[in-house]
Chains A and B, each alone.
Chain A
Amino acid sequence: MIATTIEEALRILTFQSGFNSAVVVAGTAALGLAGGTVGTFLLLRRRALVSDALSHATLPGIAVAFLVGAALGLPERSLPLLLAGAVASGVVGLLTVQALSRFTRLTEDSAIGAVLSVFFGLGVVLLSVIQNLELGGQAGLKTFILGQTAAMAQGEAIAIGLLAAGAALAVALLFKELRVLAFDPGFAAVQGWPVGALDLVLMGLATFVTVIGLQTVGLILVVALLIIPPAAARFWTDRLPALTVAAAVIGALSGWLGATLSALLPKLPAGAVIVLVAGGFFLLSFLFAPARGLVAAALRQGRLRLSFAERRALTDLLDGRPVEGPLALWLRLRGHTRNGALTPAGQAAARAAARDRRLWERFLADYPALLPAHANWGVDPIDSVLPGDMVRLLEERSASS
């Protein structure tokens, strides 16, 4: 049973489980890629929550579009019409947030909270009304809330892939413009960049990703595709191009793995599975990323403390003060001491540590203005931080004082 499940998973992951599921998985991966790319700039521009209001605000539009389709006598639910409705009410929601925060004293977060819940509430009411009508095809509407990859037809998956690629391409083209917009919109405006229009483009791209992600991930969770991949990627790098690529990769992997998993577990909502996979990537990044992860930071801090403690203990021994406890054990393991006395190697290390401390203190006293230019002053050996002639000068000064 388990073996066959794994076999099935491998087949889907490697696109060998029939053309349709391969297309769905690829389409979802493309969606994740676009989400990560666009989301990077949304996050940096601090617009992540606005896009949550946007996605919730799509629901009444979907419901109204369904009613319009039924009134026009369309035989079954028409996806383009529903998505057009989603875009329309999403944009109305977005404009409402902006109007509320600009023309009233409401802060943006309260405007977002109000719009998000009111629009979603309206959508839920309209959906209940629709459920009680004598029409066909209502059942499919619920997939927009929590998402369902299985509902994706081949043509839709291909369209999603193309649109997502277009969104990622737009970000690549506007990379420099979006960078200055997100970092310093005032400076961008002074330089003549149309800040309002660029913001519109960015929100437009977010709308785009939201709407093409509605069917797969569902409107409640689609915002996660915009937020989680860049938030996870932020732990890995301090450079914007690398951040964008990493967010795209994490988004694409989440879509790919998530769609595969949800094909194996058809009873679970696809959106939730995809978001949980992305959440897994976030957790891994938060804990283990070498640049800004929790473990790496703790290790760095621990190493720093150990190195200070070790040098202090060595100089203590050199001055004839005894060292006890775990630190004594550590010095013995490092080969610095034997039977409580310094070994020749320990002697050398202790003298180097004492010299480093003496010279760094001299430097601190005589040249405080130069400190900021030397990032690890006082931490690393002085010869590896300061130029040779400066070290010699400090030697002379510290010898004469």
Chain B
Amino acid sequence: MQYLWRTPGSRTAPEEASPIGPPPLEIRGLTVAYHRRPVLWNVDYAAPSGGLIAVVGPNGAGKSTLIKACLGLVPIVSGTVEVFGRPIARQRRLIGYVPQRESVDWDFPVSALDVVAMGRYGKIGWFRPVTRAHKEAALHALERVGMADFAKRQIGQLSGGQQQRVFLARALAQEAQLYFMDEPFAGVDAATERAVLQVLRDLDAAGRTVICVHHDLQTVSDYFDHALLLNTRVVAQGPVGRVMTPDLLSRTYGGRPMPAPAAAEAS
């Protein structure tokens, strides 16, 4: 059916969400607590369709927790999360995930290609082995991050930046519509930084939405289109030109122990 709608030469890929469809990610009234202490408070957010979105905020602001709550990895106290208009449990195939590099044991007995092939497991399904076609898709994803030469290498023998690129390739192998990335630029070498940025731009060009926890304020405006300033609650959201202002940033980073009245009203 979709091909009937597509005019020749159209720049819109057939699988791309229509501009008037539900947003890639919609969070309403999200509150998350670890033991009785809230780490996210009444977060409302609707991600624009297509584009690179940075989640920015100080340490302990709940940036990673926001991503994990969206993905269903930490229990939610209240609120809802929808991906393209439906609960996440029914949209798993549309989601790609790059966890923090420190979250796994890199001495694990697998090769880079094995890890990237894990991105295909959702498509392969129960009990079936990883076929040649899926291995080739994984190898292609490794090529896209400049790591094809390292496919057979045990992951512990890779440098930190190379490990980060393996994680990114695994997410690419998922062929998702909406990507969540937890600090993909943290502690990487220059070559990896360029590779990650190139992948983000490719995804953006293909109409995908990428939500990235990002720690480096210097590069937010260069790398991303939108930003979500977070400190337990949403301080500001929107195009980087509008929200990456000294005033909003100091409200995000400054007023944590005792917020100024103006900041408290902003949400």
> A interface vs B, CB < 8 Å?
44, 173-177, 179-180, 182-184, 186-193, 234, 237-240, 243, 369, 372-373, 375
Total contacts A-B at CB 8 Å: 85
Q: What are 28 residue pairs bridging A and B, where the CB atoms are less than 8 Å apart in the complex? A: A44-B109, A174-B127, A176-B121, A176-B130, A177-B126, A177-B127, A179-B114, A182-B108, A186-B73, A186-B103, A187-B99, A188-B121, A190-B71, A190-B95, A191-B97, A191-B121, A191-B122, A192-B89, A192-B122, A193-B122, A237-B109, A238-B154, A239-B109, A240-B114, A369-B191, A372-B159, A372-B191, A375-B157
Evaluate contact between A243 and B126: CB separation under 8 angstroms.
no
On whether the beta carbons of A190 and B92 are closer than 8 Å, the reply is: yes
* Cβ 8 A contact of B124, one of A173, A176, A189: A176
The size of the chain B interface, using a CB distance under 8 A, is 41
Chain B, Cβ-Cβ closest to A372: B159
Interface: B240 (CB within 8 A): no
Tell whether B161 is near chain A: CB-to-CB under 8 Å.
yes
Shortest beta-carbon distance, B211 to chain A, in Å? 13
Given A183-B104, A183-B110, A186-B99, are A193 and B121 neighbors across the interface (CB < 8 Å)? yes
Rounded to whole Å, the gap between the CB of A219 and the closest CB of chain B is 29
A184 proximity list for chain B (CB < 8 A):
99, 103-104, 118
Give chain A residues whose Cβ lies under 8 Å from the Cβ of B162: 372
Q: Which residues of B contact A190 (CB under 8 A)?
A: 71-73, 92, 95, 97, 180
Q: Are B103 and A239 interface neighbours, CB within 8 A?
A: no
Is B111 part of the contact surface with A, judged by Cβ < 8 Å?
Answer: yes
A101 to chain B, nearest CB (A): 14
Tell me the complex Cα distance, A188–B174, Å.
12
Supposing A180-B118, A187-B118, A192-B92 touch, asked if A240 and B110 sit within 8 A by C-beta, the answer is yes
Chain A residue nearest to B157 (CB atoms) is: A375
List the B side residues contacting A173 at CB < 8 Å.
127
Q: Whole-angstrom distance between the alpha carbons of A44 and B68 in the complex?
A: 23
Is residue B9 contacting chain A, with contact meaning CB distance below 8 A?
no
Whether A189 pairs with B103 at a CB distance below 8 angstroms is no
B122: chain A residues at CB < 8 Å are: 191-193
Q: How far is the CB of B209 from chain A (nearest CB, A)?
A: 16
Residue of B nearest to A189 (CB): B73
Looking at the assembled complex, report how far the CB atom of B189 sits from the nearest CB atom of chain A, in whole angstroms: 7
Output the least CB separation between B134 and chain A (Å): 10
Residues in A neighbouring B121, C-beta threshold 8 A: 176-177, 180, 188, 191, 193
By a CB distance below 8 angstroms, the chain B residues around A183 are: 104-105, 108, 110, 115, 118
Which chain A residue has the least Cβ–Cβ distance from B160?
Answer: A372
